[in-house]
Amino acid sequence: GAGVSQSPSNKVTEKGKDVELRCDPISGHTALYWYRQSLGQGLEFLIYFQGNSAPDKSGLPSDRFSAERTGGSVSTLTIQRTQQEDSAVYLCASSFRTGAAGELFFGEGSRLTVL
């Protein structure tokens, strides 16, 4: 497809289980971002990949969260031992350049519910 694709669109899991969320960015986009959107909290930056550079992990809330980006394309966000406070919509975005204009193209998100 032409846009950023995320899967699954919805995930319900039990507390303590691990989850993986996938993001397929727009082809050719070198930058990839993960954000978390919680009710009333706006967008919380989690992690940023740019080309082959080391990722900016400064937004990851705990060591239960990790992400990788294989081959400079698809990214997986992993949450280990999920907690109820992890329930949120996880948004992925990509862009083909940094700095000027800075337009991010967002996917529709993966809604995670931790019971």
In the bound complex, what is the minimum distance in angstroms from residue 22's beta carbon to other proteins? 15
In the bound complex, what is the minimum distance in angstroms from residue 42's beta carbon to other proteins? 3
Nearest to 66 by CA among 52, 53, 81: 81
**Residue reference for tokens 């993960």:** 34
Cα gap 71→73, rounded to integer Å:
5
In the bound complex, what is the minimum distance in angstroms from residue 8's beta carbon to other proteins? 14
Residue 69 CA from chain centroid, whole number:
11
Element (H, E) at 94: strand 88-95
Which CB sits closer to other proteins, 17 or 57? 57
In the bound complex, what is the minimum distance in angstroms from residue 75's beta carbon to other proteins? 14
Which CB sits closer to other proteins, 43 or 74? 43
Nearest to 75 by CA among 33, 109, 108, 105: 33
* Beta-carbon-side half-sphere exposure of residue 36 (alpha carbons within 13 Å): 19
Which CB sits closer to other proteins, 91 or 114? 91
Which residues form the interface with other proteins (CB under 8 A)? 4, 31, 33, 35, 40-43, 45, 48, 56, 58-59, 91, 93, 95, 98-104, 106-109
Which CB sits closer to other proteins, 93 or 114? 93
